[in-house]
Amino acid sequence: MKRLTFAVQFKAVDGEPGVLEGYASTFGNVDQGGDVVMPGAFTKTINERVATGRVKLLSGHSWDPNDVLGTVREAREDAKGLWFKAEMSQASDVANIRQKLIEGHLDRLSIGYSAIKWSYEKDDNEDSIRKLEEIRLYEVSVVPFPMNEEAAVTNVKGEFYDLPLAPMETEWDAEAALERVREFTQAKESPNYRYEKAFLSVNGEKAHTLDGYSELIADVIGNRMVVIPAAIIDAAKGDDAKNHKPVIDRYYNKMRREFNRPDLLPPWKCAERKDSAEPVTEPLTETNLQMARIAQLETQFLGGF
């Protein structure tokens, strides 16, 4: 699960709704999911979505009408990242969140977005870093646990690899799963960021259509969208696996930890282990298990999308 977090500022003006300000994202730093947002990534979405009031302020990434806190009215890129200002509703149920913001108990943000354009490069450790060059912003959420620790009541990120895992033995039926995913995400005519998280691949030129998404890895079980281990294993064997190695690797890491399966490796890791005397699996320590449990709890707490 990936997040970027920053500090937030809260303003209350007599006779007017509260105003929330902060940085929803920062440039240049690599978040916990291996992404780095590049300057200019928000330029198009500011003009097309923020300017028309289509970017909402939510509680915990929930798209339920009861969890809409307000609307993002202004946004701009500066040297630090994406600054925004949101107008909060005066509804009574929003007042509780507003009070917690004033008191400082809630002070982190996260964004719900789609990655439209990106490229990959290697860092000093030869790990893949995804450079996000264009982002379509859907919402900014107030959250207790963010992904980017530099974004304060200003940023919330959600992407396909922060979905929880289904049990290891879950059967995989891609055709039936697609129907359930479209129904659950309410993506009947056009995609949204919840729908996009169910896939590994997107065609940038068709990102606005349902047909622009392929390599489905998720299904809906018990009113939650979850990743099916069998789908990840199939994807790792596919012809396009090399294009999705960072995401597939993350899910394999998650499966090894959550299911206590240190032997579970993608094909390329198996080849590495055969060619090297050094072990390539991460040690299954109690610390790693605890971190996995925390990540799983955070995912469930934030809505389990």
pLDDT digits (tens, 9 = 90+) for 152-194: 443 223 333 457 899 999 999 999 999 999 999 888 888 876 7
Same domain assignment for residues 185 and 274: yes
Q: What is the model's pLDDT at position 6?
A: 54
Q: What is the model's pLDDT at position 244?
A: 82
Q: Does residue 169 lie within any of the structural domains?
A: no
> Residue 265 pLDDT more than 80?
yes
Same domain assignment for residues 145 and 188: no
Q: What is the model's pLDDT at position 11?
A: 56
- Contact between residue 130 and residue 120 where contact means Cβ atoms under 8 Å apart: yes
Q: Mark which of 132, 158, 184 sits at the end of a domain.
A: 158
Same domain assignment for residues 189 and 283: yes
Domain that holds residue 86: 8-158
Q: What is the model's pLDDT at position 243?
A: 79
Q: What is the model's pLDDT at position 261?
A: 92
Same domain assignment for residues 18 and 137: yes
Q: What is the model's pLDDT at position 219?
A: 96
**Confidence at 151, pLDDT banded by 50, 70, 90:** very low
* Averaged confidence pLDDT in the chain: 78
Q: What is the model's pLDDT at position 237?
A: 92
Considering the chain, what percentage of its residues have pLDDT values greater than 70? Answer: 73
Considering the chain, what percentage of its residues have pLDDT values greater than 90? Answer: 28
Q: Mark which of 158, 190, 211 sits at the end of a domain.
A: 158
Q: Which of 108-117, 153-162, 280-289 has the highest mean pLDDT?
A: 108-117
Q: Does residue 163 lie within any of the structural domains?
A: no
Q: Does residue 43 lie within any of the structural domains?
A: yes
Q: What is the model's pLDDT at position 32?
A: 60
- Number of structural domains the chain divides into: 2
CATH number, domain of 62, equals 3.20.16
pTM: 0.49
Q: Does residue 231 lie within any of the structural domains?
A: yes
Least confident of 4-18, 150-164, 189-203, 230-244: 150-164
- Give pLDDT tens digits for 20-77: 888 888 888 766 667 788 999 999 999 999 989 999 999 888 888 889 999 999 999 9
Q: What is the model's pLDDT at position 178?
A: 96
Q: Does residue 1 lie within any of the structural domains?
A: no
- Contact between residue 189 and residue 143 where contact means Cβ atoms under 8 Å apart: no
Same domain assignment for residues 99 and 235: no
Q: What is the model's pLDDT at position 74?
A: 92
